[in-house]
Structure 1
């Protein structure tokens, strides 16, 4: 092209008739598109597929997920892998969008996935040209009201007895996912009514269940206060674990009911959404527990600086992200 050779992909040896046929088919496809004015200058469209999948795209997304260790990148990799078809032409991209919609993925999620794919394939013109319209979301969407929180906790206490202590602590502290999953008993100070958050169990790249010990998001330890109600829930939970012979000295506070291994996001999300549906609520994501706790704590009149220290945020970031309407407005009287 333009006097330069461009590497497409290795398709076999020169003396292999099958490889020769593949090469001729690719050349014919490139020539046809060039004559029709539809040539993909990135040549991405012409790379051979592996079992019908665009292996170059999957490898690029996997490498990005291993490097970034961000949930959005990992999710994009899994969605593209599950889709199982290439994304090289406009028709293929349109089919991918229709498939994501049929899978029930929100418009914001679809947009994030497309953005992630574009970051590893900047020359993919069909992807660049498509946009997903994301409707404006209410700032209150992630915050449960006091009544909703009470109804969900009552349901969990009755129907998800094993997981109830985990969600009671989560809604009572607003911890991050990896902090809840990695909480150990040596960091629980029931007499003082507080937690020491100094470590987390973070997911390893694109692995669904594998996690590795790590520090906090900010790299600093912090102390999180507990209400009397949460302290009592943890006391009873520790007694239950002691009866089962589990480690209540420095072992994990919350474990799976069968294998007694660490918890994981997808399992917790199923329990969380299942409970919300039972009480007639539109299911929110797991992170809504952090949003709900911090928004209500702000509405109660707590100092933003104090809450930022508890949450592990800068004060301005806390106000920008978590200062959402809760319905708790104190009306002045004269």
Structure 2
């Protein structure tokens, strides 16, 4: 079926054969709907609303998401594609979108996840008015609760040292540097300079968007390398950690610094999260996200009086972004002394 709009031909396929009376009737019905919407000012110029479903699925939307998934290789795009595929219905009209949101809620998807999915669909269907008119209200996250106090930090590290000995060096280092997850997981021994008391962050092991536990090498988030200082306690911990890895015949020249206890391969977020939450539960502390390691380090470093510009360089952020995101109460208030 061919539709001519603004001097350009548009094709709506998958209607059936021309000699099929049912397919011809469907084409006439779609033509009448397009003509009516055009005269009433409600025409969808992308024609997405008028394209028929195949086995109940919007193949045009699925194909657009699949192409975006292959291009971006991001977990959020992959999740959106798989969610829309499972939904298996149209997401063209406001009624469709409302039903889609209700369907996601019934399956326990968080409001933030629903919002991300809708945003990803909008990116491949920017002229879908129904999608732009519907917004999911996402509860505001109290990021102040992400920051552990000094006492809580000490409690967690003591617990990890006693109960999660293999992972203790990883979390001690994490709490002392505030690296991003992918930077910590991708840290290699050739980037560790113990004599200089610093580590070079120039690469990451980021998540492959198409597989949960598969990771691929990439650059830092900003695309730039940076030097992160480490204190003498961390230097000594890393020396001991290296000795232990050498006893296990691990590569301590260019291999990964932190590895899994069984396979001796790279760590992954879900495994680290299990260890982290186990420790918090044992101590009776509020459950925090894994990313609170970074929030905690940078918030305490700011509270100790470090220059925001210096910390921004260490964290790989702009100064204003660092202050907006990580300047959280830590309980460390230095009172003036007259």
Kept in 2, the 8 Å contact 1:66–1:204? The answer is no
- The structure 1 residue matched to 2:91, chosen from 87, 92, 104, is 87
For residue 174 of structure 1, report the CA deviation from its aligned partner. 0.7
Larger Rg: 2
TM-score with structure 2 setting the length: 0.80
1:242 and 2:246 aligned: yes
For residue 25 of structure 1, report the CA deviation from its aligned partner. 5.3
CA distance in 2, matches of 1:50, 1:281: 51
Two-structure CA RMSD over aligned residues (Å) = 3.5
**Which stretch shows the higher mean deviation, 305-314 or 71-80?**
71-80
User: Deviations along 1:116-144, whole A, 9 cap, x unmatched?
Assistant: 22121123333222111233333414323
User: Deviations along 1:31-52, whole A, 9 cap, x unmatched?
Assistant: 6798899987344345455665
- Measured at CA, do residues 141 and 96 of structure 1 come closer, stay the same or move farther in structure 2, by a change above 3 Å? farther
1:202 and 2:206 aligned: yes
Unaligned 5+ segments in structure 2 are none
TM-score with structure 1 setting the length: 0.81
**Which stretch shows the higher mean deviation, 191-200 or 138-147?**
138-147
For residue 229 of structure 1, report the CA deviation from its aligned partner. 3.3
1:146 and 2:150 aligned: yes
- The structure 2 residue matched to 1:300, chosen from 297, 300, 304, is 304
- The structure 2 residue matched to 1:191, chosen from 195, 198, 204, is 195
* Equivalent in the alignment of 1:97: 101
Secondary structure, in 3 states, of the residue corresponding to 2:182? helix
For residue 183 of structure 1, report the CA deviation from its aligned partner. 0.6
User: Deviations along 1:156-191, whole A, 9 cap, x unmatched?
Assistant: 334433333222211210111221111101112233
- The structure 2 residue matched to 1:119, chosen from 101, 120, 123, is 123
1:63 and 2:67 aligned: yes
CA distance in 1, matches of 2:83, 2:252: 38
Secondary structure, in 3 states, of the residue corresponding to 2:11? coil
1:8 and 2:49 aligned: no
Secondary structure, in 3 states, of the residue corresponding to 2:216? strand
Kept in 1, the 8 Å contact 2:199–2:229? The answer is yes
* Equivalent in the alignment of 1:291: 295
**Which stretch shows the higher mean deviation, 282-291 or 304-313?**
282-291
**Which stretch shows the higher mean deviation, 194-203 or 33-42?**
33-42
- Measured at CA, do residues 94 and 162 of structure 1 come closer, stay the same or move farther in structure 2, by a change above 3 Å? farther
For residue 201 of structure 1, report the CA deviation from its aligned partner. 2.0
**Which stretch shows the higher mean deviation, 205-214 or 74-83?**
74-83
User: Deviations along 1:73-118, whole A, 9 cap, x unmatched?
Assistant: 4554454455555433444433432343345444333323322221
Unaligned 5+ segments in structure 1 are none
* Equivalent in the alignment of 1:220: 224
